[in-house]
A and B are shown apart, each in its own frame.
Chain A
Amino acid sequence: GAGVSQSPSNKVTEKGKDVELRCDPISGHTALYWYRQRLGQGLEFLIYFQGNSAPDKSGLPSDRFSAERTGESVSTLTIQRTQQEDSAVYLCASSLGYGDPVNEKLFFGSGTQLSVL
């Protein structure tokens, strides 16, 4: 497809289980971002990938969160031992990412609604 694709769109899990969220960015976009939005809150930056550079993990809230990206394509966000406070919409975005502000315009997927019971 032409846009950023995320799967699953909804995920319900039990506290303590691990979950894996997937993001397919727009082809040709070198930068990929993960954000989350908890209920009533703004977009919270989690992690940023740019090409082959080391990812910026400064937004990951704990060591239970990790993410990987294969080259300049698919990314997976993994949350281990989920907690109820992890419940949120997890949004993936991609951009051309050449360090030019114009190209930092992000294209977002529709998100994965994660509910931890």
Chain B
Amino acid sequence: DQQVKQNSPSLSVQEGRISILNCDYTNSMFDYFLWYKKYPAEGPTFLISISSIKDKNEDGRFTVFLNKSAKHLSLHIVPSQPGDSAVYFCAASFGGSQGNLIFGKGTKLSVKP
């Protein structure tokens, strides 16, 4: 039973346009969410996070939106660049407790020049 779901395995976007990656979760106890980015043959790297007390967090071209009532979060990349082409993983945790992050299956983003 997947607690963190990324229902789109892939997404293709034109350079300069907006990329929107979606993530849904089932466990209302999650209160901290993170996005990781992974290039081929490399480990994932942290991109951006959001606490459940917020509904938006912005870092440069990257913005994460959280809709707690819908148990949904999204990552917006504006403007998209070819170097953003990677697999993006959504992850969730129980804030304040120690333990593992629950990851989604990832969405492969391709940004075309």
Q: Which A residues lie at the B interface, using CB under 8 A?
A: 4, 31, 33, 35, 41-45, 48, 50, 53, 56, 59, 91, 93, 97, 99-102, 104-111
* Contact pattern, B 90-113, Cβ under 8 Å of A = 1, otherwise 0: 010101111111111110000000
- Kindly count the residue-residue contacts between A and B in the assembled complex, taking CB atoms under 8 Å apart: 69
In-complex Cβ contact of B98 among A31, A41, A45 (8 A): A31
Is B41 a contact partner of A110 (Cβ separation < 8 A)? yes
**Cα of A31 to Cα of B93 in the assembled complex, Å:** 15
Total number of B residues with any Cβ neighbor in A under 8 Å? 28
Q: Which of B11-19, B44-52, B65-73 is the interface stretch? A: B44-52
Instruction: State which residues 62-95 of B face A: CB under 8 Å.
Output: 89, 91, 93, 95
In-complex Cβ contact of B100 among A42, A59, A111 (8 A): A59
Residues of B within 8 A of A45 (CB): 100-103
